[in-house]
């Protein structure tokens, strides 16, 4: 698989009642693809993923998977949390929910959130990322 072009990290808009505005996400996704973007990145760092429940995340992934499949675009699903085990579990669920997508991304917890000095954290992060990348968690 090769990645070329621009991949847009989607925001997650909310309706007035606090629910996820799927119609707005659909409009944004199609607008970005119409403008020439190669792919979409829902639930990434700008996607409010830590504020969403599992059903909301699945709805967003299902919607974006359908759009990308219909439009021939690539999809990268964000799956990071501040908890490594939760990230591994979320990544498995995101991969299942996005079976029709081209790619899925799992990110490790952010070291900057837990330590002002990243040097001692680097070994910890690598010890968590390597098993995730190898499919072991």
Q: What is the mean pLDDT of the chain?
A: 77
pLDDT for position 111: 45
pLDDT for position 108: 43
Residue with the bigger pLDDT between 85 and 43: it is 43
What is the rounded distance in angstroms from the CA atom of residue 131 to the CA atom of residue 137?
6
Mean pLDDT of 53-63: 93
Residue with the bigger pLDDT between 15 and 115: it is 15
Q: Which of 95, 43, 102, 116 is nearest to 67 (CA)?
A: 102
Which residues, 6+ apart, have CB-to-CB distance to 97 below 8 Å? Answer: 57, 58, 61, 62, 65, 77
pLDDT band at residue 29 under the 50/70/90 scheme: very high
Which domains are delineated in the chain? 7-110 (3.20.20.70)
Residue with the bigger pLDDT between 25 and 85: it is 25
Of 21-25, 26-30, 82-86, the poorest mean pLDDT is in 82-86
pLDDT band at residue 106 under the 50/70/90 scheme: very low
What is the rounded distance in angstroms from the CA atom of residue 104 to the CA atom of residue 75?
7
Tell me the helices (H) and strands (E) count for the chain, helix number first: 4, 4
């Amino acid at each position: 698989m090769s990645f070329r072009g621009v991949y847009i990290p989607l925001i997650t808009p909310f309706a007035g009642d606090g629910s996820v505005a799927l119609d707005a996400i659909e409009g944004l996704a199609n607008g970005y693809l119409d403008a020439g973007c190669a792919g979409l990145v829902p639930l990434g760092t700008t996607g409010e993923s830590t504020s969403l429940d599992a059903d909301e995340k699945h709805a967003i992934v299902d919607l974006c998977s359908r759009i990308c499949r219909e439009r021939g675009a690539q999809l990268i699903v964000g799956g990071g949390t501040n908890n490594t085990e939760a990230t591994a579990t979320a990544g498995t669920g995101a991969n299942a929910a996005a079976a029709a997508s081209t790619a899925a991304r799992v990110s490790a917890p952010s070291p900057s959130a837990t330590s002002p000095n990243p040097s001692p954290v680097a070994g910890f992060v690598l010890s968590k990322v390597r098993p995730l990348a190898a499919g072991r968690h």
